[in-house]
Structure 1
Amino acid sequence: MAIRDTESLEHPLQRFYTSVRPQPTFQWERYQQRDVLVINHPQCQAVFSRQGGQLLHFQPAGQKPWLWCAAQWPQVGAIRGGVPVCWPWVGRHPGEGGWPANGWGRLLDWKLIESQEHDAGVSLHWRLSLWDWQADLYAELGQSMDLRLETQHEDSEPCQFGHALHAYWRISDIADVALEGLDGVQGYDEISRSACEQKGELRVLGSCQRVFEHAGSLQLYDDAWQRRLNIDTCDSVNTAVWHPGSRPLLGVAGNEATGFLRVEAVSGVDDCLSLAPGEQARLSLQARLVH
């Protein structure tokens, strides 16, 4: 089923769809030392990793892939690409310097609770239970993409918390895209370590690492592909935009990095949220094609 010539593919995980034989809607495969769930539906194709409950590939029928993923994964550790679930903290842990960046959720295996197919696409429910925490990730995939992360905190004491859906959006080239919908929005530039305000559309020139006080819809316009994606971070506290520029990324070939822009829904990135015992936290990320 796998093929060697990955450069001819739009996405490295499209290798699972080169077979001419009929494929089941849901099928587990072993790839780069991970268990991956390959989804093949008339409305879309998708791949999840059991590690991280991570959506790595999503492609509605008749369209180019929406998500970027690195071609090579580390033998152990987080997979770069798709929509990593950062949980139950974002960035560095506020108190434990040796704990992994962006939490345990990206590194542990999630349990697939339910998978269903219907005329419009597929529905999936993943779960991760850790100590007194429970995270549930719900996915609705078809001609659009809808991810919802819900966290239940059952400890007896309030706890600091943060979560994010770090989506790597696949694009033709970083030089050919613009992000619309942030005009006049205040934010913080992590590179210059200063407050910033977006003026007009955002085009990435070099490195970009900004966290905006924004929730709701944005539009990612790709001039070369003539594609406009509506990305909705819903009621998240912040919208973050990141690209490494020319800075090398471990495990990512130089020409690969020009093919993504990370636009993510995030809450608790700097000032951690405080969850009371029994309190729930929710985070959503939705996308659809604008015709």
Structure 2
Amino acid sequence: MHEHPLQRFFRSLRERPVFAWERYRQRDVLVIDHPLCQAVFSRQGAQLLHFQPRGQKPWLWCAAKWPHVGAIRGGVPVCWPWYGRHPSENAWPSHGWARLIDWKLLDSRSDEDGVHLHWQLQLCDWQVDLHADLGERMELRLSTEHQDSQPCQLSQALHAYWRIGDVGEVALSGLEGAQGYDQLSRAACQQEGELRVEGGCQRVFQHEGELQLKDHAWQRELRIDTGDSADTVVWHPGTRPLLGVSWDEVSEFVCVEAASGGTDSLCLAPGERAHLSLQAWVGA
């Protein structure tokens, strides 16, 4: 098992403040050390890169190597204001601008339940806010307000990379009977039984609510709730190579994402808001 690259900040026995900014791989990262959990955010993308409740193994995976510039692979990237390829502009970056831009941290506080953060990004006629509550559980809430005078299209995702013991020993339940689209075979699909992803998976399900990620190698069950998002996306590259990521690392994650606007792009009227959420906790 590879150590999470950002656990390096927590090796020292000295007492740390709850919130501390550090410089790592040419990015500003916010290191969080609370009695209930440890976490790391990147200012770039307001990206939660590491989350680990006390006494547990890490919940999120992050690549050991980062590019000098560009998107960081791992954690929970905020894909916004589109995810996947842009529908009309081929030269624009996959998964939108939000994960490439520095966000403002408007609020960070702690209490006996954990830590609470509010990040914000204003881009052209859009405002997007990310609220994070971290403690024994993890909750992310994304809210977009369209401030233009004309309607505009939106798609978005909270693209979570969940840390696991071994991809060959995990199963995802809760999707039984869900209709979806298999982007590898380019065909409609319906899930029968538990979903296993060892050979590669890129499916978009019309599903909302709770799933169970059963990790037999780590003897852990993560409950993942994608809220009332229109889609739940399950992704793993299988044997396809990922740039800068070793095969050993690839076997240590699976993506289960909350998404909306992918199958039917959202059309926001002026002043209208769109919401997306992702929660996780350890099952009984």
TM-score interval for Structure 1 and Structure 2 normalised by the shorter chain: over 0.9
Aligned residue number for residue 215 of structure 1? 208
TM-score (normalised: structure 1): 0.96
2:226 pairs with one of 217, 233, 236: 233
Alignment match, 2:124 = 131
Q: Post-superposition shift, 1:251?
A: 1.2
Q: What corresponds to 1:109 in structure 2?
A: 102
Give the CA deviation at 1:146: 0.4
Q: CA deviation at 1:8?
A: 6.2
Partner of 2:74: 81
Aligned residue among 47, 51, 54 for 1:58: 51
TM-score in terms of structure 2 length: 0.99
User: Structure 2 matches for 1:5-20, cutoff 5 A?
Assistant: 9=3, 11-20=4-13
Corresponding residue for 1:173? 166
The runs of at least 4 consecutive aligned structure 1 residues that moved more than 2 Å come to none
Q: Distance in 2 between matches of 1:176 and 1:130?
A: 41
SS of alignment partner, residue 160 of structure 1: strand
CA RMSD of aligned residues (A): 0.8
* 1:133-166 deviation line (CA, Å, top 9, x unaligned): 0000000000000000000000000001011000
Q: Distance in 1 between matches of 2:244 and 2:81?
A: 25
Partner of 2:272: 279
Q: Return the offset for 1:182.
A: 0.5
Q: Which amino acid aligns with 1:204?
A: V
Q: Does 1:246 align with 2:200?
A: no
Pairwise mapping of residues 80-99 of structure 1 onto structure 2 (< 5 A)? 80-99=73-92
The CA distance in 1 between the partners of 2:198 and 2:48, in whole Å, is 28
Q: Find the residue that maps to 1:215 and give its secondary structure.
A: coil
Shifted more, 94-103 versus 79-88: the winner is 94-103
Provide Cα deviations, 1:94-148, integer angstroms capped at 9, x if missing partner: 1211111110001000000000000010000000000110000000000000000
DSSP 3-state at the match of 1:75 = coil
User: How much does 1:205 deviate?
Assistant: 3.2
One of 192, 195, 200 as aligned partner of 1:202: 195
Distance (whole Å) between structure 2 residues aligned to residue 100 and residue 8 of structure 1:
30
**Matched-pair contact (CA < 8 Å) for 2:224–2:280:** yes
1:21 aligns with 2:14: yes
Secondary structure of the structure 1 residue equivalent to 2:247: coil
Letter of the structure 1 residue corresponding to residue 120 of structure 2: R
Residue 270 of structure 1, CA deviation: 3.2
SS of corresponding position for 2:251: helix
3-state SS in 1 of match to 2:100:
coil
| SS of residue matched to 1:255 | helix
Q: Which runs of 5+ in 2 are unaligned?
A: none
The answer (yes or no) to whether the contact 2:2–2:249 under 8 Å persists in 1 is no
Q: What fraction of aligned residue pairs are identical, expressed as a percent? A: 67
- Residue by residue, what CA displacement relative to the aligned partner does 1:50-98 show, whole Å, maximum 9, x if unpaired? 0000000000011000000000100011000000000001111112111
Give distance in 1, aligned partners of 2:268 and 2:52. 35
| Pick aligned residue for 1:161 from 154, 160, 163 | 154
CA distance in 2, matches of 1:242, 1:263: 7
The offset of 1:235, in angstroms, is 0.5
* Number of corresponding residues: 284
**In structure 2, distance between residues paired with 1:161 and 1:69:** 27
Q: Which residue identity does 2:230 align to in structure 1? A: V
Q: What 5-or-longer segments of structure 1 have no aligned partner? A: 1-6
